[in-house]
Structures are given as C-alpha cells and as structure tokens.
Amino acid sequence: MERRVVVTGIGAVTPIGNTAKDFWAGIKAGKCGIDEITKVDTGDLKVKLAAEVKDFNPEDYFDRRTARRMDLYSQYAVVASREALKDSGITEENTDMTRVGTVIGSGIGGLNTMEKDIGACALKGPDRVSPMFIPMGIPNMAAGNVTIDLGLKGESVAMVTACATGTHSIGESYRMIKHGYQDAVLAGGTEAPITKTGIAGFQNIKALTQATDKNRASIPFDLERSGFVMGEGAAVIVLEELEHAKKRGAHIYAEIVGYGASSDAYHITSPSPDGEGAARAMVSAMEDAKIKPADVTYINAHGTSTHLNDAGETMAIKKALGEEASKKVLVSSTKSNTGHLLGAAGGVEAIVCVKAIEEGFVPATINYKVEDPECDLDIVPNEGRNVEVKYAMSNSLGFGGHNGSIIFKKYED
C-alpha cells in the first residue's frame, strides 16, 4: 500500500535570507538578491553581477576546525538542514533515526576547494594539494556532512542532475517514503559556484547575462532577458510519512502528491526547443498526483531568464496543460529574486510552493517590463497575488536534458 507523504520542516540559506522565514519574507516583499560580485575580482570578467548569500560567517555555525574542513557548499547544506530538522520537530526520542534518510545533491560540488587546490597543484606542485581536497570537493559530501552533523542513519544519497538536482532529490525522497523504504527524508540541494572558474565557465558558454543593472539582470519571460544570474545557497525540506507525522503532532505545511522526470535526449546544454521533454515530466507528475491540468493553480517555473529556457518552458506548459488550462494557471519565476542557484534551485522553489499553499499567496516574477509574445502565460508580473492554492507544481530543467516536476497539495486529513 502506498503511503502519503507530507512536508513537516523547511530550511534555507539564500541570497535574500539566511533562514526559511527570512527567505519567504523576502519573496513576499519582492526583494531582489542580485548585486555586484564581491567574492571574485571581476576585473577581467565580462559578468559583474551575482546573487550572493549575505552575512554568512561560517564560525557563527561551526567551530574553526570544522569550518575549515567543509567546503562552502557543504556548510550551506548543514545550516539549512539543521533548520529544517529543528522545524520538523524530529528527534531521537520520537523517531527511529535509522529510518530517516538524506537526499541532498549539488550540481557541481566543492568548487571553491577544487579551484584553490587545482591551482596550487598547477603553480606549486602536488605536495601543495590539501589532504582535504577530495573529502571537501566531492559532490556527495554535503549529504555526508549532514548525516554526520545530525545523526541521520537512513539512506544517504547525493543526486547530481545539474539544475534539476534539488527537484530530483525531493522527488526521489518522496518515492522512498511512499513505498515504505524510509519514514522521513531530508531532501534538497546546495551550491556555492561563485568562484572565478565558475563564473568564467558559465560566462564562456554564453549562459550568464552581462547586464550591469541588478534590477534588469534576472528577468525571466521578459523580451530583454539575456542570460541567467549565478546564485548560491541551499534549501532542504523534511518529507515525512503522514501517520508518522500525525503521531508526533507535527506541523504539516503541505502534502507532496506527484513527481515526474524525463530526459530531452537532445543537447548537452540547450533544452529541447519545443518543450517536449519538460512537458512529459509535468504530465507524469500530474498522472502520479491523479489530477487534471485544470486542478493546478500555480507553477513555480524553472524560468532562468535565458531565451531558450523561458520560450521552451512556455511551450512545455502549454503542451502539458493544454491551451485552456495554461491560460488560467499562474506561473512565476522566483529566480527573478534569487538568481539561479543551480543544484539548489529546486529546493528553494519547493519551499516557495509549500508556503504559497500554506499562506494562499502566489509570488511575483519581479522586475518584469517588456512583454515577450513567445512567453504569453500569466507570469504574475511584479505584484504577488492572494490566491487560494490547492495544487502547486515546481519545475526544474538541467544541463544534459534532465527534467523534473513535483506537485504539492494543500493538506487535508
């Protein structure tokens, strides 16, 4: 028998707030987390803007030795996970920790560490490479550090599907609980890619905007969009089997009822231009949730602010929902607030969906000015709306053609 799965905890470190509460307040207020890059000397870079996490001091969260042994992407994951677990109320006294899993991925992993130590090897020789290079750099170590920090002894998995990582992590965690393998899972994504190499790499494949106006840089669905803005941070949600959550008296944010995944099988970086692969993921998620397209109130779009993504995702939504439903559904991209957090994006946007359901508020696509006839959905421009949301869908599309969609529902006993 399939089990119901609910969301009982949320945690986040983002460019607009270093807790889930502050992040959501920033979303509701239409806050933009994009500004001039401070972590990298941009003198010889064409890209000047990013969405950095602000006021994050590792020694506020870790002793000095521990902080030095964790790459920044792992630090973000641990801080977000601590918040999510505390928020859920799960403890050793009320839960068997061997039945609590961890599925936290990263699109890149410890890029700060890799850049530093590969540079040291090239310039000064192999003896100057830190013995912590491997355990700090490998992309599974965020999940590993979270399990160690919190004592989580269930399944521990690190998804790596580029910008779909966070959504796939949540979707696969949902299946683990639904089919009885775990009672609860901490799921999400983390990323710390704002380094010289990270910016240069995305810059040189023409993915990043070179805009210098922070309010006209990450502008999903706008005709003048010119690429995405690099973001960083982490977001983790606690998924839990419904009866287990009820027995503990947990606060339930929403229920997760659908998950779909697909591959474009088209190109290493470009999405399928007709949106066919993304549409299949959305259809699969709706079939899993046993709902009709007209039931979906809100879609948090992948919406990266690149020409190909936004036009292709618009087509995908129309294919998946049909013309009638796609005219009525509310679609916004909160990457206009946060930039693109790569592997962490799906986790951040899942929190947006569960809070939209809980509070009856659909956030805006901010800084929108110029209408694009190719992107003719209701993208909730500039002002959020108070709307009852029963079903919310979150989409993520990753380099390599990885597509994922998850559907949350207003919880009803």
Tokens representing 78 are: 């641990």
Contact 127, 359 (CB under 8 A): no
Give the whole-angstrom CA distance, residue 360 versus residue 384.
11
> H or E stretch including 404?
strand 402-409
Q: DSSP letter string over 348-379?
A: HHHHHHHHHHHHTEEPPBTT--SB-TT--SB-
Contacts of 278 by beta carbon, 8 Å cutoff, 6+ apart:
262, 264, 271, 272, 302, 312, 313, 316, 320, 395, 397, 403, 405
Is residue 302 part of the annotated active site? The answer reads: yes
Give the whole-angstrom CA distance, residue 10 versus residue 88.
8
β pairing state of 156-157 and 361-362: unpaired
Is residue 163 part of the annotated active site? The answer reads: yes
* CA distances from residue 84 to 10, 13, 236 in whole angstroms, order as listed: 4, 11, 6
> What are the counts of helices (DSSP H) followed by strands (DSSP E) for the chain?
13, 14
Contacts of 207 by beta carbon, 8 Å cutoff, 6+ apart:
227, 228, 269, 306
Strand order in the sheet with 254-263: 156-157, 100-105, 184-191, 233-241, 5-13, 254-263, 402-409, 391-398, 298-300, 330-332
Catalytic residue among 244, 340, 375, 402: 340
Half-sphere exposure of 183 (CA within 13 A, CB side): 17
User: Nearest 5°: CA angle at 270, between 52 and 32?
Assistant: 25
> H or E stretch including 73?
helix 72-88
Catalytic residue among 168, 302, 353, 375: 302
> H or E stretch including 166?
helix 165-178
* CA distances from residue 85 to 146, 200, 266 in whole angstroms, order as listed: 11, 36, 39
Q: So which residues are the catalytic ones?
A: 163, 302, 340
